[in-house]
Amino acid sequence: MKSFLWSVLILIVTFSSGVARAELVIEITQGIDNPTVIAVSPFAWEGSGVAPEDVAYIIQNDLYRSGQFAPVARENMLGTPSRDEDIFFRDWRMVNAQYLLIGRLTGDQTLIADFALYDVTKQTLVIQGREESVVGEVRTLSHRIADRVYTALTGIPGAFATKLLYVAVTPIPGEKDYYELTLADADGARPRVLLASREPILAPTWSPDAKEIAYVSFETSRPAIFRQNLQTGAREQLTAFRGLNGSPSWSPDGQRMAMVLSKDGNPDIYVLDMQTYVLERITRNYAIDTEPTWMPDGKSLLFTSDRPGRPQIYRYDFVTGLTDRVTYEGSYNARARVAQDGRNVVLVHQQDGDYKIAVLDLETRRLTALTSTDLDESPSIAPNGSMVLYATKQAGRGILAAVSVDGGARFNLPARDGEVREPAWSPYLPKTP
């Protein structure tokens, strides 16, 4: 018993130095041709002590990352107004700003930010508003302001106040790799480990209310599907069938989960009722059926099948019970994810031997390649449908990268150290204090 305790202690000592969180760093590689120039004046801090965060800087970076905005550098600002009466529009025209965002941050345990967005050319107010948060969530507060600015200027809901899930892999010399399922803000900040394991973690995915996640873990020596409460970390092992247990995907109403099991022979799609734990088999085919994902209306599933000889996307309709083929272009189409509008499908597409991320418009049936590298995988789409996050390789190292659905804006999210893979962009988050 004593030696037991000792070994635990030794483990703690050896790991406390080596375990670092894989934090993502953002490198913007391409923006659109004529970005909107916006100046985000530093927010005045009117509380006591030191300002908790540079709110304006977070907002500015959010907008920049979208590729649609070019923020004015602070050193070029001729003034830093935080109130309406301090604005000299002439100053902002001189630095070519089209819009100006000002704001003030105050509070103690609860922070309150008042902000106002001005059109510099017309010298008019576009929107003004207030966001509140507890002091620890000042980044969330900043992202929410960025969302409101983005919505006001583009007409598209912002998705900056969302989260990313990804798997960070740290090689440990002479030992098994170290896997961390990590949660981070959409800008890569505030990484938090949700599951640490010495066995692979795959296919993380979100529940539609963003309160739970599911994934495949090999910790029980064979693949098994787990669901985990985000807040408490408590989890439930859902399956441990003989063979494959993979690709969990929550239905839009949160009541069911599609998954791949090979318990009855070869891999097929099943749907698990999360209340009754009743499994329904969806496909019965001697081909491999895998990677199910729900259409936003919950009435059909897209999945990958190699029944035509090479992997292609098929669609199962729950109403008619019929399955039909969705992709015809290219010799390989797999890992589909559907945007909330139910129209754009991002997938891995093989073209000239390279695996690229492509977007398929289900209405026009047009397929457009979005990426130009050759080993892109695991696409995941932002809840507002504007950006696609995917895993790729940079100098032989696994990194995350993002591209806008129109292909105009791109950025990379490499980890500070180690590799990152299997990204999953969250749905819109419930409003938290």
Partner 1 sequence: MLGALSALLVCASVSAQDFIDLESERSRTGNSVVVAEPRADEDAAVNPAPIPQGSVSYGLNGQVATTTSSVLIQDSQSAVASDPGSVFIQVQRLAEEVRRLNGLVEEQAYQIKTLQRQSLERYMDIDRRLAGGSSVAPTKEQIKPEESALPVVNTQEAEYKAVDAKEEPAYLAARQLVYDRKFDDAVLAFNDFLLEYPNGAYAPNAHYWLGELYLVLNPPNLELSRQSFQLLLDLYPKHSKAPDANFKLATVYFAKGNIERAKTMLESVIATYPRQPVAELAKKFLADKY
Binding site for partner 1 (CB under 8 A): 3-4, 7-8, 11-12, 14-16, 18-19, 183, 192-199, 217, 219-221, 226, 228-242, 263-265, 272, 277, 279, 284-286, 364
Helix then strand then coil, % of the chain, to nearest 5: 15, 45, 40
Q: Which is nearer to partner 1, 7 or 76 (CB)?
A: 7
**Minimum CB separation from partner 1 for residue 11, in Å?**
5
In whole angstroms, how close is the CB of 218 to partner 1 at the nearest point? 9
Dist. CA 84–CA 118, nearest whole Å: 9
61: CB partners within 8 A, 6+ apart = 26, 71, 187
- Nearest distance in Å: CB 35, partner 1: 17
Taking the complex as a whole, the smallest distance from the CB of residue 259 to partner 1 amounts, in Å, to 11
- Angstrom distance (rounded) from CA 245 to CA 228: 16
Q: What is the dihedral of CA 63, 64, 70, 72, to 10 degrees?
A: 80
Closer residue to partner 1, CB minimum distance, 284 or 310: 284
The distance of closest approach from Cβ of residue 407 to partner 1 in the complex, given in angstroms and rounded to an integer, is: 9
**Residue 369: φ, ψ to 5°:** -75, 135
Please say which residue, 74 or 263, places its beta carbon nearer to partner 1: 263
Residue closer to partner 1, measured from CB, 3 or 48: 3
Choose among 121, 117, 101, 9: nearest CA to 55: 101
Q: What's the min distance (Å) between Cβ of 264 and partner 1? A: 5
- Indicate the SS3 state at residue 259: strand
Within 8 A by CB and 6+ apart from 132, the residues are 107, 110, 111, 112, 113, 141, 433
DSSP letter string, 177-204: -EEEEEEEETTS-S-EEEEEESS-EEEE
